[in-house]
């Protein structure tokens, strides 16, 4: 595999049932491409947390995954409310998720810290009322 592969997904914000489907698909592709299981696990946990966030906090968005021989890059972009205080949002346990999200099994405030932990680099660009773009890279 010499060139970069690109996968694009529209993440439906109104549908909690389909949330995570893009991450499931990426995981399957990386398996087919023969990447090491530990690398695949890191990519898929980070992407899944980000995908869930777009659904529960931002009304959906897009996911783009670029797979090259050196790295897997994940770009999650939404036109949601934006994140007011990024360093606060990065704190373990910080969550603005409402009770109904908690009853679905999410909203512990561990998503963003988890994404950072499992990736080699993570960049958050966010503007209130405009949206959020999160770029994560896992080196191979």
Q: Which one of 7-15, 17-25, 31-39, 106-114 is the stretch in contact with ligand ADP (CB under 6 A)?
A: 106-114
Binding-site member from 45, 89, 136, 138 for ligand ADP (CB under 6 A)? 89
Residue 41: Cβ within 10 Å count: 14
Residue 27 φ/ψ region, left for φ over 0, alpha for ψ in the -120 to 50 degree band, beta for the rest: alpha
Interface residue with ligand ADP, options 7, 66, 79, 108 (CB under 6 A) = 108
Structure tokens at 44: 């898929």
Q: How far is CA 114 from the centre of its chain?
A: 10
Per CB under 8 A, which region of 6-14, 70-78, 98-106, 122-130 contacts other proteins?
98-106
Bridge partners of 5, per DSSP, are: 67
Separation of alpha carbons 54 and 61, rounded Å: 6
Per CB under 5 A, which region of 5-13, 49-57, 82-90, 115-123 contacts Mg ion?
49-57
Q: Hey, is 140 helix, strand or coil?
A: coil
| Number of residues forming the site for ligand ADP (CB under 6 A) | 21
Query: Would you tell me which residues interact with ligand ADP (CB under 6 A)?
Result: 53-54, 57-58, 78, 80-81, 83, 89, 94-97, 106-112, 132
């Amino acid at each position: 595999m010499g060139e970069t592969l690109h996968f694009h997904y529209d993440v439906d914000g109104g549908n909690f049932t389909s949330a995570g489907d893009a991450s499931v698909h990426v995981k399957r592709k990386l398996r087919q491409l023969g990447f090491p299981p530990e690398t695949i696990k890191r990519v898929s946990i980070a992407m899944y947390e980000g995908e869930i966030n777009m659904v529960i906090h931002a009304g959906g968005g897009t996911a783009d995954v670029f797979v090259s021989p050196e790295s897997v890059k994940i770009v999650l972009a939404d036109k949601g409310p934006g994140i007011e205080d990024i360093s606060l949002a990065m704190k373990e346990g910080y969550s603005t998720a409402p009770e109904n999200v908690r009853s679905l099994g999410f909203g512990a405030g561990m998503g963003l810290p988890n994404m950072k932990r499992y990736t080699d680099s993570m960049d958050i660009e966010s503007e209130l009322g405009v949206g959020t773009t999160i770029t994560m890279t896992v080196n191979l």
